[in-house]
Amino acid sequence: MFDSRWTFALAIALATLAACSRSASREAEAEPSVPVIAEPVRLGTVRATISSTGVVDTLPGATFAVVAPQSARIAEITKNVGDEVKSGELLVRFEFPSLLAQTAVNAAAARAAELRLQQTMLLQGRIRSLLARGAASQREMDDADRDVALAEAEMAAVRSAASATDALGQNTAMRAPFNGKVTERLHAVGDVVRSDEDDPILRLIDPKQVQVTATVAVGDITRFAIGATARAVAEGRATSDLLRVVSRPEPEALTKTVAVVLAFDLPTELVPGTQVSVEIDGEQRSNVPIVPAIAVLKDTGHNPVVVVAAGGIAQRRPVVTGLVDGEHIEIRSGLKAGELIITQGHSSLRDGTPITVTTP
């Protein structure tokens, strides 16, 4: 009796296990297909971009420092930091403590030189008259002529000195050489300043004459040439400015980065000091297999994979990638042109998952 009960229970268990197995098999057979969007691998052109950061700065010659022509006292400053200026507008007016004294000295010297010239010319005329009557010698005449020439030279020197002083007096006002903006004010009215580039009073820039200086890794410097196109985007701006590489220095030993200079193709609203993101167009390959960038995933080892639509099922396939631009990735190996790769709905697919494919 005991053995019969155990035999019956075993039979029931086996029957239940068989039923579960049949149910699991039916569920596997009935696994729903996942709708995906796929498109064929195509041959095309891809151009790499080198990403960098840069800053907008002024072109050489687009800055101006107001410096006194000689030691002077500042009588007037018309602008402050941030002020806009127009070409020819007054910036600084000077007073020269030595100018009045020098003017007085020049005037006294001019009067003395003029008096000596008049005296020598009178003596010259008298001796010439005496020489004509035989009452003076030729030597006396030569001496009188020499004295007149010396007096005339002295008069010319005095006039030159006076002209220089007058020219200096005309430099009491410094004006803007171009339309621009004041970036620094380093002195106040009443300050005494030197005629030295190290002692400027104001600095201004022409904000329209700007360029971008970008920092590029040494390993990327050979990937583009002078004349390469680029784009710059400032934070908070929806549009980019077109640029062109105008300077690409050769890297020096032990350096990790180099400074690349880029010029704007068109006038820009970006002002000096603005930080920008820069993308420089690099090397290009044509007639190579390319796929949309969104189609390439990473496996657990961070290696690139794509999901191929193969006969109604998903197939994860490792690939070797090449150049990358903003939208496409070059496939060096692992895919052939014409194969369908899944571009939407593929991130969670595993090998063998049934799929329903829609093409754009």
- Model confidence pLDDT, tens digit, residues 83-133: 999 999 999 998 877 666 666 777 888 888 889 989 999 998 888 888 888
Select from 284, 305, 330 the last residue of a domain: 284
Would you say residue 354 lies in a domain?
yes
Domain count, the chain: 3
Q: Count CB-CB contacts under 10 A for residue 226.
A: 11
Residue type, 283: E
Would you say residue 301 lies in a domain?
yes
Structural domain of 123: 65-193
Would you say residue 341 lies in a domain?
yes
Are residues 70 and 140 both part of a single domain?
yes
121: helix, strand or coil: helix
Whether 345 contacts 62, CB under 8 Å:
no
Measure the CA angle with vertex 214, ends 81 and 236; round to 5°. 65
pLDDT score for 340: 92
Would you say residue 212 lies in a domain?
yes
Higher pLDDT, 320 or 109: 320
Q: Count CB-CB contacts under 10 A for residue 248.
A: 20
Residue 150 has which token pair?
């010396």
| DSSP category for residue 354 | B
Q: Residue 166: pLDDT above 70?
A: no
Residue with tokens 């030729």: 138
The secondary structure element, H or E, covering residue 101 is helix 97-132
pLDDT-above-90 percentage for the chain: 44
Residue 210 has which token pair?
């700007």
**Cα separation, 61 vs 90, whole angstroms:** 20
Task: State mean pLDDT over 171-182.
Answer: 87
Would you say residue 14 lies in a domain?
no
Would you say residue 7 lies in a domain?
no
Are residues 76 and 183 both part of a single domain?
yes
**Cα separation, 333 vs 251, whole angstroms:** 33
Are residues 217 and 165 both part of a single domain?
no
Select from 284, 316, 342 the last residue of a domain: 284
Are residues 276 and 314 both part of a single domain?
no
Residue 223: closest CA among 282, 278, 280: 282
Are residues 215 and 273 both part of a single domain?
yes
When pLDDT is cut at 50, 70 and 90, the band that residue 1 belongs to is: very low
Angle between helices 138-170 and 97-132 (to 10 degrees): 160
pLDDT score for 172: 80
To the nearest whole number, what is the mean pLDDT of the chain? 85
Would you say residue 5 lies in a domain?
no
**Cα separation, 163 vs 181, whole angstroms:** 34
Are residues 271 and 246 both part of a single domain?
yes
**Cα separation, 43 vs 338, whole angstroms:** 9
Are residues 336 and 290 both part of a single domain?
yes
Residue 276: closest CA among 356, 220, 210, 197: 210
Residue 108 has which token pair?
């006294």
Would you say residue 313 lies in a domain?
yes
Are residues 88 and 173 both part of a single domain?
yes
Instruction: Specify the CATH number for the domain of residue 223.
Output: 2.40.30.170
Residue 86 has which token pair?
């127009």
Task: State mean pLDDT over 280-302.
Answer: 91
Instruction: Specify the CATH number for the domain of residue 341.
Output: 2.40.420.20
Residue 55 has which token pair?
């800053």
pLDDT score for 343: 92
Q: Is 273 left (phi over 0), alpha (psi -120 to 50) or beta?
A: left
Whether 220 contacts 282, CB under 8 Å:
yes
pLDDT score for 2: 45
Q: Residue 326: pLDDT above 80?
A: no
Task: State mean pLDDT over 205-223.
Answer: 90
pTM greater than the 0.85 cutoff: no
What is the DSSP annotation of 59-86?
Answer: PTTSEEEE--SSSEEEEEE---TT-EE-
Are residues 280 and 299 both part of a single domain?
no
Are residues 177 and 235 both part of a single domain?
no
Are residues 109 and 138 both part of a single domain?
yes
Residue 155, phi then psi, degrees to nearest 5: -65, -40
Residue 273: closest CA among 61, 77, 82, 50: 82
Are residues 93 and 115 both part of a single domain?
yes
**Cα separation, 159 vs 109, whole angstroms:** 9
Select from 245, 263, 284 the last residue of a domain: 284
Give residue-wise pLDDT tens across range 215-226.
999 889 888 999
